[in-house]
A and B are shown apart, each in its own frame.
Chain A
Amino acid sequence: MFIRLQTPRGTKDYLPPEVERHRYVEQKLREVFQLWGYQEIRSPAIELVEVLSTGVGSDLVDSMFKFQDFDGKIVALRAEMTAPVARIVTTKMLEAPKPIRLFYISNVFRYSQSYLEREREFWQAGVELIGCNTPAADGEVLSLLASFLKKLGLEEVRIDVGHAGLLKDLLRAAGLDKKKKGVLQGLLRYRDEDRLEKFMDQNSFSSELNEAFLRLSRCRRLEELSSVSLESSTYGKTDNYLRALLEVRDALVDYGVENLVFFDFSLVRNIEYYTGIVFEASVPNLGLPLGGGGRYDNLMEKFGKLKIPATGFAVEIEKCLQALASQGFQPLDKRKVKVLVASRFRDSAIKAVEAIRSTGITALLDVTKGGRNEVLEYAKRGGMNHVIFVDFSLEKPAAIYDIQLDTVKNMTINAFLQSMGDDRK
């Protein structure tokens, strides 16, 4: 039988250098999220399909890997983390004081038939701020996103903000069928005023609605929204939404990140549960967004019958790495020193590695029966900085090879550690 040894389409192995790159992003994430008081959460990779499907919309449900459990229930691999977090909060954290701040770093799975599509397993990191619907909460999540991306080392980060409710209510007010709604959304995205005006004429928009669409699609910054007034309008809650956006903008000024934030009236996320502001983060050199999020005030209700407002975001770790690479940033820490210790006297070799490790330097014990040349060859190919051949006592000078410089010195372990310490100063 011919065995295919590759991983399934859209999945991949992470070899040590890739894991190290991933860890770089993860560590920064944890550091920043924890500093802001967010607590890490984990959930199962497999959940009941009803749970994962709640509120996310049919596109995402279609893209889930689903299968039947032994008891006949349909389960699926999680395709995103907000629905699992909503389940946890509404079933196990109801007593927790609100707002609740949670974060996660998880692999998620999406099945895609399109050959353009990306990975089917990928890593997402995100936060959820649950139980609060103030502008300060939206501002916090947006500035946390900005702060984390800057901390990673990314430059020219920008965040584009839209509003799910504002767009939805105005589209509803236009009274178009599904197909025409799609056309209109396209025109708004293309920011093509000529075609937009023509379309609105053809579909006999009222002059107020016409004006609202034109003005909103002209706004590039949140503060420009103050010139748009829909006060006398009957378009759902649009006026509240505009006010909310302006309040978020004020919060962003206080956080000092308003310069990174832009307004895009046409911005939509491909998940349905969003009710308020929605946003996407990007850098100019990467053509795909790094991630995004928004406010979802009605999702919790679908799980627990309790209305709990919430907001959050998720970024893709791989995209962050691609963005760093596009800006020429190399996250691998090449300065990390590795030492290999070999000896005919196992007890003193073990004492030596322990002494080295206690100073924070990585030390490996030679566990082979190889001769000096084989050990040196292994060290060279394995990326070691030093090889130390110790005698029966650590007090006696050991032969210490510097692999990069191709030199050898005789000195005690203590003297060696001393010199390493000096180097690092």
Chain B
Amino acid sequence: MKRKIRIAIPSKGRLSKPSIQVLQEAGVNILKKERTYVSETSDSRFDAVFARAFDVPIYIQYGAADLGITGHDVILERGSDIHELLDLGFGKCQLVVAVPENSGIRSVNDIPTVARVATEYPNLCQKYFESIGKQVEILVVRGTAELAPKLGLAQTIVDITETGKTLRKNKLNVIATILDSSCRLACNRIAYRVFESEISELLGKMKRGGN
């Protein structure tokens, strides 16, 4: 008998609710969510597991989850070798370079050599600055990169923005966009072969539900 297929879903944050909803529209209702890591769903072939959005790619790559929902930005940052099966359309955001409005910096070319950059995305940040031939010192922070310029930790930040509101509130200007991202349904390479019929069926429903 085949085992159950595990779908990893962000446990909290902006991607959590829409992820649960998109599954629901595809006929997979999560039955109990409170304080559990693994939940049964209304479709007996699927279980849901809850993990941090940032960890979902690892769960998928190592097969701890067969499928998962998380941001394109996070998948790239993690450098995961997983299949991005579907752009779910929600969770649209951009990974941007931002500096304080009063810094006098208007473009990435104005960033001084070996500037400090605070970010939650060290790998994408590194790749970006290497691609434009700029040496920077990357400081990895968790959560609130926008505080870094205020407190003098780093003048430049690389962070995710949806509407630009938080950046404006913190008097930060976007000077470059590294990446456009949105939420994806991703899949383990081997699970996609083993459970192809079940996963394609779900994928088909999600495609119809999403558009």
The answer to whether B190 and A287 touch across the interface, beta carbons within 8 angstroms, is yes
The answer to whether B83 and A189 touch across the interface, beta carbons within 8 angstroms, is yes
Number of contacting residues on A, CB 8 A? 20
Given A191-B196, A287-B64, A288-B63, the answer on whether A116 and B190 have CB atoms closer than 8 Å is no
The CA of A304 and the CA of B207, in the complex, are separated in Å by 54
The answer to whether A264 and B193 touch across the interface, beta carbons within 8 angstroms, is yes
Chain A 184-220 interface residues, beta-carbon cutoff 8 Å to B: 186, 189-192, 194, 220
A284: nearest residue on chain B (CB-CB)?
B194
The reply on A91 being an interface residue by CB < 8 A is no
Given A116-B58, A191-B196, the answer on whether A284 and B190 have CB atoms closer than 8 Å is yes
The answer to whether A285 and B79 touch across the interface, beta carbons within 8 angstroms, is no
Contact of A190 among B79, B85, B188, B190 (CB under 8 A): B85
The CA of A191 and the CA of B187, in the complex, are separated in Å by 12
* B194: chain A residues within 8 A (beta carbon): 158, 282, 284
The CA of A282 and the CA of B190, in the complex, are separated in Å by 7
Q: How many A-B residue pairs have CB under 8 A?
A: 54
Number of contacting residues on B, CB 8 A? 27
The reply on A114 being an interface residue by CB < 8 A is yes
The answer to whether A285 and B58 touch across the interface, beta carbons within 8 angstroms, is no
The CA of A6 and the CA of B191, in the complex, are separated in Å by 35
The reply on B11 being an interface residue by CB < 8 A is no
Contact of B62 among A190, A264, A282, A287 (CB under 8 A): A287
The CA of A160 and the CA of B194, in the complex, are separated in Å by 10
The answer to whether A286 and B190 touch across the interface, beta carbons within 8 angstroms, is yes
B194: nearest residue on chain A (CB-CB)?
A284
Contact of B60 among A282, A286, A287, A289 (CB under 8 A): A287
Contact of B193 among A114, A158, A286 (CB under 8 A): A158
The reply on B70 being an interface residue by CB < 8 A is no
Encode contact with A along B132-155: 1 for CB under 8 Å, 0 otherwise: 000000000000000000000000
The reply on A262 being an interface residue by CB < 8 A is yes
The answer to whether B58 and A190 touch across the interface, beta carbons within 8 angstroms, is no
The reply on B80 being an interface residue by CB < 8 A is yes
Encode contact with B along A56-90: 1 for CB under 8 Å, 0 otherwise: 00000000000000000000000000000000000
A326: nearest residue on chain B (CB-CB)?
B63
The CA of A114 and the CA of B58, in the complex, are separated in Å by 12
A287: nearest residue on chain B (CB-CB)?
B63
* B60: chain A residues within 8 A (beta carbon): 287
The answer to whether B61 and A116 touch across the interface, beta carbons within 8 angstroms, is yes
B122: nearest residue on chain A (CB-CB)?
A115
The reply on B169 being an interface residue by CB < 8 A is no
Encode contact with A along B75-106: 1 for CB under 8 Å, 0 otherwise: 00011100111000000000000000000000
Contact of B190 among A114, A191, A192, A289 (CB under 8 A): A289
* A284: chain B residues within 8 A (beta carbon): 2-3, 190-191, 194-195
The answer to whether A192 and B85 touch across the interface, beta carbons within 8 angstroms, is yes
A193: nearest residue on chain B (CB-CB)?
B200
Chain A 285-314 interface residues, beta-carbon cutoff 8 Å to B: 285-289
* A116: chain B residues within 8 A (beta carbon): 58, 61, 78-80
* A287: chain B residues within 8 A (beta carbon): 60-64, 66, 188-191
Rounded to whole Å, the gap between the CB of A193 and the closest CB of chain B is: 10
Rounded to whole Å, the gap between the CB of A400 and the closest CB of chain B is: 48
Chain A 343-372 interface residues, beta-carbon cutoff 8 Å to B: none
Rounded to whole Å, the gap between the CB of B162 and the closest CB of chain A is: 26
Q: Which of A191, A282, A287 has the most CB of B within 10 A?
A: A287
The answer to whether A288 and B83 touch across the interface, beta carbons within 8 angstroms, is no
Rounded to whole Å, the gap between the CB of A185 and the closest CB of chain B is: 12
The CA of A116 and the CA of B74, in the complex, are separated in Å by 13
Q: Which of B64, B83, B195 has the most CB of A within 10 A?
A: B83
The CA of A192 and the CA of B186, in the complex, are separated in Å by 13
A interface residues with partner B (beta carbon < 8 Å)? 114, 116, 158, 160, 186, 189-192, 194, 220, 262, 264, 282, 284-289
Known: A284-B194, A287-B61, A287-B66. 11 other contacts (CB 8 A): A116-B79, A190-B85, A220-B196, A284-B2, A284-B3, A284-B190, A286-B63, A287-B63, A288-B62, A288-B63, A289-B190
Q: Which 6 A-B pairs rank lowest in CB-CB distance, beginning with the nearest?
A: A287-B63, A287-B188, A282-B190, A284-B194, A114-B79, A287-B62
List 5 contacting pairs A-B, 8 Å CB cutoff, sorted by A: A186-B84, A190-B84, A285-B3, A286-B190, A287-B63
